[in-house]
Amino acid sequence: MQDMDKIKILIADDHAVVREGTRQILEEEPDLQVVAQAADGEEAVNLADRFKPDLAIIDISMPKVDGIEATRRIKAAYPAMAVLILTAYDDDQFVFSLLEAGAAGYLLKSVRGKELVDAVRQVHAGESVLHPAIARKVLNRFVAKPDQPGIRKEKVLSDRETEVLRLATRGLSNQDIADKLCLSLRTVQAHLGHIFNKLQVSSRTEAVVMALKEGWISLEDVP
């Protein structure tokens, strides 16, 4: 990583002990810094507003405003802020709702510390992507329930960018994509950066979800 600045993180969880545990796991890493902790969704939105972290780790079940609504509000105010969901719920339905709300990643609380740290770094680097099985389900959902026709966005991506995104949908890492398209890693990263900018998103996940939703990527592209 060229960026030696620490990744600033907000944690929102109503269980103090779990929240503290998450903080400890993250702070053991030299490149991660927890800048704020919220005990409910409303506080999370307020703290995101005050501290402008790079990434927010949010639980679903929280008092006042739940994690889904908090994600929606944070993404509406700060499209570039990545949201990683850390929850005890494991059903797809939450994944769908959260992806639609703009979350970049979805992790179960029972993940090992190392996986959590990796996920944070990946999401921050715009690398995290949907599990192919979930991507397929998301796609089926959008096919079954097409967004209101007529207000579909004009395809804004170039062919090359679409190609990169299509490979990203399959779960390939940046390096894999670079190898496959005979490009340098930097170029792939640059392409993804452009894609994020054009789509006003902060992660591959969101970019893929939007592309699926808008129909720029089709069923055959999902493994």
Binding site for other proteins (CB under 8 A): 15, 17-18, 21, 24-25, 60-61, 66, 68, 88-94, 96-97, 109-110, 112-114, 144-145
**Minimum distance between the CB of residue 3 and other proteins, rounded to whole angstroms?**
26
User: SS in 3 state form for 159-223?
Assistant: HHHHHHHHHHHCCCCHHHHHHHHCCCHHHHHHHHHHHHHHHCCCCHHHHHHHHHHHCCCCHHHCC
CB closer to other proteins, 33 vs 97: 97
CB closer to other proteins, 62 vs 178: 62
CB closer to other proteins, 111 vs 183: 111
CB closer to other proteins, 81 vs 101: 101
**Minimum distance between the CB of residue 121 and other proteins, rounded to whole angstroms?**
17
What lies within 8 Å, CB to CB, of 156 at 6+ separation is 198, 199
**Minimum distance between the CB of residue 57 and other proteins, rounded to whole angstroms?**
14
CB closer to other proteins, 68 vs 164: 68
**Minimum distance between the CB of residue 129 and other proteins, rounded to whole angstroms?**
22
- How many other C-beta atoms lie within 10 A of the C-beta of residue 51? 13
What lies within 8 Å, CB to CB, of 178 at 6+ separation is 184, 185, 187, 188
Give Dmax (Cα) for the chain: 50
**Minimum distance between the CB of residue 110 and other proteins, rounded to whole angstroms?**
5
